[in-house]
Amino acid sequence: METLEKTLANVEVNAEGYLKKIVLTDKHFEVINWLRAKQAEGTALSMRKVGASGLVDIKQFYALFPGGPLKISSKIAGIPKPASCI
């Protein structure tokens, strides 16, 4: 299986670059836990909110969860996909 080296995680991708498997680091868990906490509070989540969280900037967020960061991270966090356009 081809792997794609990202700054903070090893991400397995298929021939076309689609996400196969993601190795979760502490940073991933920080983001995931933050998402879960915010969701439990009832905050509407968006890309911009994650960028302003102080945990990661938007570029790092894309690097952690390539191929749709908010979608993939919320899936791993076990929360509904945020209904956000931004």
Partner 1 sequence: MQDVLERPVTELEEVPVNEDKGKLKKVLIICSKGKLEDVYAALVMANGALMEGIEAKLFFTFFGLEAITKKHADHLHTATVGNPAFMPGMPTMVAGLPGFEAFASYMMKKEMDKLEMPHVTEFIQMIEAGGGEIYACKLAADMFHLKQEDLLDEVKGIITVGDMYALAEGEGSQIIFI
Positions that interact with partner 1 (CB under 8 A):
16, 18-19, 46-49, 51, 57-59, 62, 66-71, 85-86
Q: To the nearest whole angstrom, how small is the minimum distance from the Cβ of residue 32 to partner 1? A: 17
Radius of gyration (Cα) for the chain, nearest Å? 13
Please identify, using beta-carbon distances, which residue of 24 and 71 lies nearer to partner 1: 71
H or E element at residue 54: none
Q: To the nearest whole angstrom, how small is the minimum distance from the Cβ of residue 34 to partner 1? A: 17
Please identify, using beta-carbon distances, which residue of 20 and 59 lies nearer to partner 1: 59
Instruction: Check if the beta carbon of residue 56 is closer than 8 Å to that of residue 46.
Output: no
8 token code pair: 């903070």
Please identify, using beta-carbon distances, which residue of 30 and 51 lies nearer to partner 1: 51
Amino acid letter, residue 8: L
At residue 36, what are phi and psi to the nearest 5 degrees?
-65, -40
Q: To the nearest whole angstrom, how small is the minimum distance from the Cβ of residue 71 to partner 1? A: 7
